[in-house]
Amino acid sequence: MLYLIGMMQKRKIRINPAGKIVLGFLTVILIGTFLLCLPISSQDGQWFSFVDSLFTSTSAVCVTGLITVDTAVHFTIFGQVVIMILIQIGGLGFITLTSLIFLILGKKITYQNRITIQESLNQDKNQGVVKMVKNIVILVFCIEFVGFLCLLPSTVNLFGWGKGIFSALFLSVSAFCNAGFDILGTESTAFMSLAPFAQNSLILLPIMLLIVIGGIGFVVLFDVGNKFKHKKMSFHSKIVIYVTLILIFGGAVMFAILEWNNPNTIGNMNVWDKIINSFFQSITPRTAGFASFDQAKLTPESLILTDILMFIGGSPASTAGGIKTTTMFILFVAMFKSSTNKGNYIFCKRQIAGKLVQKALKVFCLSFLLIIVATTCICLVEGNNISAGSVLYEVISAISTVGLTMGITPSLNVISKLILTFLMFVGRVGAVTLTVMFASKVKSANDEIEYPDSKIIVG
């Protein structure tokens, strides 16, 4: 991939930063698809279906977690290692990883490459982005190693040293990257995610913490670290932390109320396990995809709440998907505040630029439009075999790179699987990134012309 980009640059084939991000992810997905197709990847020693391989590879690279076959049951150790590497690449980001390789090889990071890194990390400026890449990689591996150590006693106790060590490592990477893949299943517990361990706090608690840390964003993590050095925390980090806490605790309270007496979910658990599983169900839709009980058995109200949490997702410059916490915050501010004469908004003595509101609105509308179109298409393809509610749940899970499922994914036909594959890809690289990739930077002469006010009546 790096060679191809280099050749394009030499031949003056210009690719904007958004295009490099998209091409990078596509390349990794296709390589992963080929590796998962190989007989060495499957337990039965047969070639794996191309569509299912593509779906699994996309799900791993886009850190989603939707699957058509159970990861533990279908794939060999080789296949599982491939999936874990794809998850790690997806979590770190292709650009971050290639930049690290450049640094290891002693290659110079050009100005254009810095611009691409800036775009991939959602930064306002390219100064210090190379140092940030180094810090991100070190931070990620340190957090995953701590998560591995926390999970190790439980997995070794369950599976012995060999599988226990690998399971702890796989789970730690998958949880921090908000991927939702696990290798804990057996023939009798296939597709059950963490349901067999719903009353095992020593597994659920570390996974919850890894999900939250991975989904809060690298910028926020660095800011929290600087806080201990008595440095001021940015306004962005404060908003992310406040919104995240509101969603986690608010969601947990709502799930506890709605599911407390539901015997199909947490109704038969003791009080402690009910509380833990309520928090788990509040955290995992944003956007991890692990499930401690069957999502199809949630009450209708809980399903709607899960849809909303999945749609919002995590925070920018993180391993999470969704429209992001900051997007939702900006839209709420714009909804309940009046703009200034310059089209900006004031919140807590801080100014939110009108262009940020426009970008947030664009992200919201593009995601919402894709969800409606994809749900309608899959419903048409599948006919009356699957309810619209189940399809909507799966579609939101895919585009928000969550991985929670109502259990319908394995039974979907090829067209529906390809639609979900596309949604996972869009959800990871970002709908706005895709539109920017094809956007022209050439200004029209009409841009300088002032036209009459349209005077459209709204509301």
Cα 272 to its chain centre, rounded Å, is 29
For residues 355 and 433, the model is more confident at 355
pLDDT at 2: 47
Note the pLDDT tens digit of each residue in 108-167: 666 666 666 665 566 666 666 677 778 888 888 999 999 999 999 999 998 899 999 999
| 15 has pLDDT over 80 | no
- Dihedral sign for Cα atoms in the order 373, 379, 381, 382: positive
| 445 has pLDDT over 60 | no
| 3 has pLDDT over 60 | no
pLDDT at 236: 87
- The Cα angle at residue 418 between residues 416 and 424, in degrees rounded to 5: 105
pLDDT at 318: 82
| 218 has pLDDT over 60 | yes
Of the listed ranges 64-68, 97-101, 166-170, 249-253, the one predicted with least confidence: 97-101
Average of per-residue pLDDT across 178-194: 87
The pTM score is: 0.88
Kindly tell me the number of DSSP H helices and DSSP E strands found in the chain. 19, 2
Question: Are the C-beta atoms of 335 and 357 separated by less than 8 Å?
Answer: no
pLDDT at 20: 72
Structural domain boundaries in the chain: 2-437
Average of per-residue pLDDT across 58-74: 92
Mean pLDDT over all residues of the chain?
85
pLDDT at 120: 58
| 398 has pLDDT over 50 | yes
Dist CA 142 CA 132 (whole Å):
15
Note the pLDDT tens digit of each residue in 293-344: 999 999 999 999 999 999 999 888 788 888 999 999 999 998 888 878 788 8
DSSP letter at 135 equals: H
